[in-house]
Structure 1
Amino acid sequence: MAVTGGIGPVEPGEDTYLRNVTGRAGPGGRTAPSRARHRRTVRAAGAALLLLAASGSLRADRAREPAEAPPPYPSQAVTFAYLDAAPGPGGARGGGFSFAVRLSVGSGPPVTVTRIAQPSAGLSVASSPAAPFQTKPHSDSKIIVTLRVTECDKAPRNPGFPFLDVTLRNTRAIQTHSFILGSRYARQLSQALQVACGNDSR
């Protein structure tokens, strides 16, 4: 291996200035206490830089973390299932038709049922429990709904796909959703309306 150049001046060792008995500054005008303070300052600055770097890395990691998913819309967390006709005040002959539905709530925050309605102008709606009422996540509730005929000429005699309009609220949104309860509900409702309104013509 070729060696180039010469040998430069030998750097003084660390103890060179510590042995300066006169107390005068060594090369560069720095005394032993001054060098010690310098080393402490350098170490403190290095520690501060490490802390800043670690803090910046932590913020970057937090920025890369995915945001927490929002809760589901209330209509996505709730289902209505028709159970059967139920005894109600007055029965069909008294102009009322009562039936039971099962309200199931899935995951997410509690859901409040603020209103239960139906589209026909000839029918009124009441429920037990009465709206508004709150439901818990992962729960099933039985609700008794009573439809009462107010005007036979506006009541649907043969409803094909009758549904309930239910207004739901949770921490994310307020929605009105139409729940179709199936053919058995349509058939029983039609029979109740025919009994309630008799042979009245439109």
Structure 2
Amino acid sequence: MSGTGPVEPGEGTHERSGPDVPRPSARHPGRLARSYERHRRAVLATAAAVVTLAGGGYLYASRPQPPPPAPPPHPSQAVDLDYLDAVPAPGDDFGFAVRLSVRTGPPVTVTRLDQPYDGISMTSSPAAPFQTKAHSARKIIVTLRVTECAKAPRNLALPFLHVTLRNARAIQAHSYILGTRYAQDLSQALEVACSNESR
């Protein structure tokens, strides 16, 4: 023997199989073999289920996510303010109606309503703050009173109202130009009020 490889049986020898070395028959497996086979099948079925669940979990986790919802519009982008008409007012005051419409998005609150001219005071009904829901409109009656004719403007071309709006997204101060009819009505009312004062 050289010790360089496994020991091989010599000539005329063969492996011995006696009663002390039981060999399970392929046709009639013993109880141990049957138990082993059942256990192996259960383990393989469990492993297959785990692999299937893991694969499904990976697919679920890696699926494309829907885009986040768009943020609501800024309040000034959702609101229209339109001049309706002059309305009766006491004395030399000038009253007019506007319609505030909220086209879309969350409710909008008017936190402030004002005019930019010195020499004129203003009130509104309803008084700010008030809220208007989406897809609805609110009529606002505005009353202007001349407090000092020397500071009141004349022949207004593009008069506007300052409105501060708030919704779930932002608070914005915005100026709304109410158009030529409002400019004419306001100029006429200021002329009447200040001519009466000078008498």
TM-score for the superposition, normalised by structure 1 = 0.78
Shift of the alpha carbon at 1:69? 1.1
1:72 corresponds in structure 2 to 73
Whole-Å separation in 1 of the counterparts to 2:141 and 2:77: 22
Cα RMSD over matched residues? Answer: 2.2
Deviations 1:110-140 (A, max 9, x none): 1111111121122222111111001011112
1:136 corresponds in structure 2 to 133
Asked which structure has the greater CA Rg, the reply is 2
Unpaired stretches in structure 2, ≥5 consecutive residues: 1-23
1:116 corresponds in structure 2 to 113
Aligned partner of residue 109 in structure 1, secondary structure:
coil
Number of equivalent positions: 175
Whole-Å separation in 2 of the counterparts to 1:192 and 1:147: 9
Shift of the alpha carbon at 1:18? 8.0
Identify the match of residue 19 of structure 1 among 18, 28, 31.
28
Question: Could you list the runs of 4 or more consecutive aligned residues of structure 1 that deviate by over 4 angstroms after TM superposition?
Answer: 15-18
* Contact 1:162/1:181 (8 A) holds in 2: yes
Deviations 1:39-72 (A, max 9, x none): 2222222212222222222233252x12211111
Deviations 1:3-59 (A, max 9, x none): xxxxxxxxxxxx9668333x45xxxxxx43233223222222221222222222223
1:174 corresponds in structure 2 to 171
Whole-Å separation in 1 of the counterparts to 2:61 and 2:79: 38
Structure 2 residue 160 is matched with structure 1 residue 163: yes
TM-score for the superposition, normalised by structure 2 = 0.79
2:49 corresponds in structure 1 to 47
Structure 2 residue 102 is matched with structure 1 residue 101: no
Unpaired stretches in structure 1, ≥5 consecutive residues: 1-14, 25-30
Whole-Å separation in 1 of the counterparts to 2:25 and 2:183: 104
Q: Cα 1:118–1:16, aligned 2, differ >3 Å: closer, same or farther?
A: farther
Structure 2 residue 181 is matched with structure 1 residue 191: no
1:37 corresponds in structure 2 to 39
* Contact 1:164/1:178 (8 A) holds in 2: yes
Paired AA for residue 85 in structure 2: D
1:148 corresponds in structure 2 to 145
What percentage of residue pairs aligned between the two structures are identical?
A: 57
